[in-house]
Amino acid sequence: RQQFSLPSIFIYGHTSSGKTYVMQTLLTTLQLPHVFVNCVEYFTSRLLLEEILIQLQSCSPGTEQTSPVHCDTLNDFVRLFKQAVASQELQDQTLYIVLDRAEQLREMEANILPAFLRLQELTDRNVTVVLLSEIVWELFRPNIGCFEPFTMYFPDYSIGHLQKILSQNHPPEYSADFYSAYINILLGVFYMVCRDLKELRHLAALNFAKYCEPVVRGEANERDTRKLWKNIEPHLKKAMQTVYLREIS
What is the CATH classification number for the domain harbouring 101? 3.40.50.300
Residues 186 and 139 in one domain: no
Choose the final residue of a domain: 102, 134, 153.
153
User: Residues 178-195: pLDDT tens digits?
Assistant: 999 999 999 999 998 888
- Domain membership of residue 198 (yes or no) is yes
Domain boundary (153, 186, 213) is at 153
The whole-number average pLDDT for the span 29-53 is: 95
CB 120 within 8 A of CB 126: yes
**Residues 180, 87 share a domain:** no
At 145, the pLDDT band (50, 70, 90 cuts) reads confident
Q: What is the mean pLDDT of residues 105-109?
A: 93
Alpha carbon dihedral 160, 166, 154, 117, in 10-degree steps, equals -170
What's the number of domains the chain is made of?
2
| pLDDT score recorded for residue 102 | 96
Helix axes of 225-240 and 176-190: crossing angle, nearest 10 degrees = 40
- Residue 63 and residue 97 share a domain: yes
In a domain, 3, yes or no: no
The three-state DSSP-derived secondary structure of 113-144 is HHHHHCHHHHHCCCEEEEEEECCCHHHCCCCC
Among residues 101, 135, 153, the one where a domain terminates is 153
User: Across residues 95-106, what is the average pLDDT?
Assistant: 96
Indicate whether 104 and 167 sit together in one domain: no
Looking at residue 62, its pLDDT comes to: 58
Query: The domain containing residue 116 runs over which residues?
Result: 8-153
Q: Are residues 121 and 17 in the same domain?
A: yes
Return the pLDDT at 225: 86
